[in-house]
Structure 1
């Protein structure tokens, strides 16, 4: 065989090794669609990135790692989180050199959550990798409690997979807000990242036209107010990666209203669901943005326990092209479970959206954010739940669905428990959670679609700080723990001249 043939054969061998069970061939001569025979296999490697949790000396942070049990995995594999090097704090190492390889947290067995903790303002960002049986559906929850100062309250975020594009409607450069975009690079080469900001009148000129360089195995918190001169209450931040990939999340801290992490909205789409507005929300603000060249007109509805309701005075929202739109919806839920459903009134135009939600009154208010999210799909997981203070909210906007919810064993003991629920079309339900028998510590919730749907969901953690109703909300998108691999056979004749 000549050099070209050998090179192609090496590529065939490498790809077959990555997919594990698959081999390569041309489609069958019968003309049958080869995708019909695709095998659904568990992923073999998952990466997650956790941002630096806080700049407060009073911060107490808990990490919880969990992998649901997945059929078809091998017997080996672990999940580990290690500290990122190159913190941006003054005096820290920015060489891009890897930090101490000693894991901050290690998990070996699917089905049982594992915890770690950190204190103070110097806790680093974490870079995580799960392999083998620990990879499919791996979830890490980062929750920080801050008892005083800007952003006091409960700040929670699901550690995210690296990607190349993120949308953050509901960011802000207002005087009382301190918003950072945290960028974490897990790879061996530097990443170059652009941050674009869009206000009520369109794009804003920023101070970083040449992009931000994030060194290898490093993190960069970027203060949004340093990028533009103008103060704007409602912004959309667009993070795009010129080279490499990063994890991104916005830490939104308010002088009076507490704060939380703002996770990225799902990809721009014509219809969006923002699930799990707390029953006792005292103020709800919807922020939306359309990145294309056309305006969007959206019908605004609340999926309540009894069905879809149109909020009086806010029946529709007009979103001008490349301009951030915001509307205050007040105490929208009025003591009931609710989710916001956005659909086009006419022609479908892709949009992104998020909610800023406030609980409490006066000086005892606290804030969280709910971005538009993908459906639960096959399976989604939320870690670090407690016997009290956890709310699971599920909504089925277009079709009735049956959902299975499994509560795992606890971090310190207990036996998993499952229940099945029916979520009626157009409704939102805060479900009564299955209780793990003999629960000790915290546990994970895994949500699976049995039939019908789609279903969207979120999990709320609540922890009172005196008279402040501290809380944080994380959405439940499909964990993408499996991948379709086409069935194939080797045919080396295609390599011959």
Structure 2
């Protein structure tokens, strides 16, 4: 066998390894792939979950779910275990089969960050939800986060260092080598000096929680945190806690774009604050509109927002939803300038306030999944700002029993609906919701979990972008002429 033939075989094998391992969907708004590529289930997925809480009275639940995916590989497994326990330690939970959630829990403030891998049939669309309830103290209420894959860049508009705020940046490294990370802060006047945020080393298979006020003497309510990785990769999330108004996880916002959607503002929100940042060289002028059950409307007195280049801008929208389902839609008034954005949402008043965050998110695309739902206290919000869409929503079996159920909804152009999501018949335990657009315009979604305790309207919101369960694999043809070159 000559060297040309060997090179061809090696190149073909390498391509097969790359395309079949864990190449995710491209992050397009619609989730569509090129016509020249087949869409196949991924064969391996990795996730990281941040350490849930330092409170001794924290109660944390984990729910793992993989939707059944046509064409997925057979066999495989999903494993979720403590960071640093790569070769030893008991898994937090062990899923038994795709289509059925698996649940686990942890108590107190010693629970560590988690590293997870799934392969074979468990890999496509694997989703893990981490939900923590804290009865009292800083950040009391409900805190929820969807565990995410590691990456090299993250934007978090909505963090803060003001008095009464205790915000941490959690960095988790799932790999065998150390990661080196820069944490940059941007306030109302631009970049903030934070030399201690430079060259932060995160050890292999480890997680660090970095308190934002230790990086700077500046005390501001509205900051944008930029996490960029010099070497390696990490998972990142911001835990934003308030002494009096509860708190929640602030997930990374969607990549900078000229138009953004922030779906699923609770209809009883008492205060909604928009935080935006323009990372480029140009100022951005954004048109603000609310997608309501009746269509797109412009909030009186808050028609637009000017965002200066390199500076964080914020505007208080008050009780903008006025008792109805709503999502915020941001579009350029003139030039298309990329921005990142998030909402800080408050429910309740006075000492009974609770806070959550809604970052701008990508469209559902092919499919999105939310785990950790209960029969009561779950709200699914769907919005189609660009045109009418039909959406299929499936409730999985319960983690301890129950029969799956499916409903189909039509979301009219420009509207947001809090839909009456299906619940498994005979539900025991928690269940997952899978959202699959069937036709029409792109759909954006979020899921709200609620828990009422001691008179506080505790809640958390997770957006539902594409679950990256499918990979676009280019079609290939044999070309023996390469052997002759």
| Aligned counterpart for 1:110 among listed residues 81, 98, 110 | 98
Query: How far does the alpha carbon of each residue in 1:75-97 deviate from its partner, in whole angstroms, 9 at most, with x for none?
Result: 21111101102xxxxxxxxxxx8
Structure 1 residue 256 displacement after superposition: 0.3
Structure 1 residue 209 displacement after superposition: 5.9
- Mapped partners of 1:346, 1:166: distance in 2: 27
Superposition CA RMSD, Å:
1.6
- SS for the counterpart of 1:6 is helix
User: Paired residue for 1:74?
Assistant: 73
- Mapped partners of 1:177, 1:422: distance in 2: 41
User: Paired residue for 1:286?
Assistant: 274
Task: Kindly report which structure 2 residues correspond to 1:276-425, keeping only aligned pairs within 5 A, or say none.
Answer: 276-425=264-413
- Mapped partners of 1:35, 1:305: distance in 2: 33
Is this contact kept in 2: 1:5–1:496, CA < 8 A? no
- SS for the counterpart of 2:452 is coil
Structure 1 residue 274 displacement after superposition: 0.4
Structure 1 residue 137 displacement after superposition: 0.6
Is this contact kept in 2: 1:83–1:100, CA < 8 A? no
Structure 1 residue 73 displacement after superposition: 1.1
- SS for the counterpart of 2:236 is strand
Q: Structure 1 stretch 361-370 or stretch 432-441: which is displaced more?
A: 432-441
- Mapped partners of 2:55, 2:34: distance in 1: 52
Matched, 1:477 2:465: yes
User: Paired residue for 1:230?
Assistant: 218
- Mapped partners of 2:3, 2:171: distance in 1: 42
Structure 1 residue 6 displacement after superposition: 3.4
| Aligned counterpart for 1:148 among listed residues 122, 131, 136 | 136
- Mapped partners of 1:275, 1:7: distance in 2: 50
- Mapped partners of 1:46, 1:245: distance in 2: 15
Q: Structure 1 stretch 126-135 or stretch 102-111: which is displaced more?
A: 102-111
Matched, 1:170 2:169: no
- SS for the counterpart of 1:13 is helix
- Mapped partners of 1:122, 1:179: distance in 2: 18
Query: How far does the alpha carbon of each residue in 1:380-419 deviate from its partner, in whole angstroms, 9 at most, with x for none?
Result: 0000111100000011101000000001111111100000
Task: Kindly report which structure 2 residues correspond to 1:27-106, keeping only aligned pairs within 5 A, or say none.
Answer: 36-85=35-84, 98=86, 100-106=88-94
Unaligned runs of 5+ in 1: 22-33, 86-96
Matched, 1:126 2:114: yes
Is this contact kept in 1: 2:160–2:221, CA < 8 A? yes
Unaligned runs of 5+ in 2: 22-32
Question: What's the TM-score, normalizing by structure 2?
Answer: 0.95
| Aligned counterpart for 2:420 among listed residues 432, 443, 451 | 432
Is this contact kept in 2: 1:108–1:134, CA < 8 A? no
Structure 1 residue 490 displacement after superposition: 3.5
- Mapped partners of 2:473, 2:149: distance in 1: 21
Structure 1 residue 19 displacement after superposition: 3.7
Structure 1 residue 20 displacement after superposition: 5.1
- Mapped partners of 2:404, 2:233: distance in 1: 37
Is this contact kept in 1: 2:329–2:385, CA < 8 A? yes
- SS for the counterpart of 1:293 is coil
| Aligned counterpart for 1:203 among listed residues 191, 198, 212 | 191
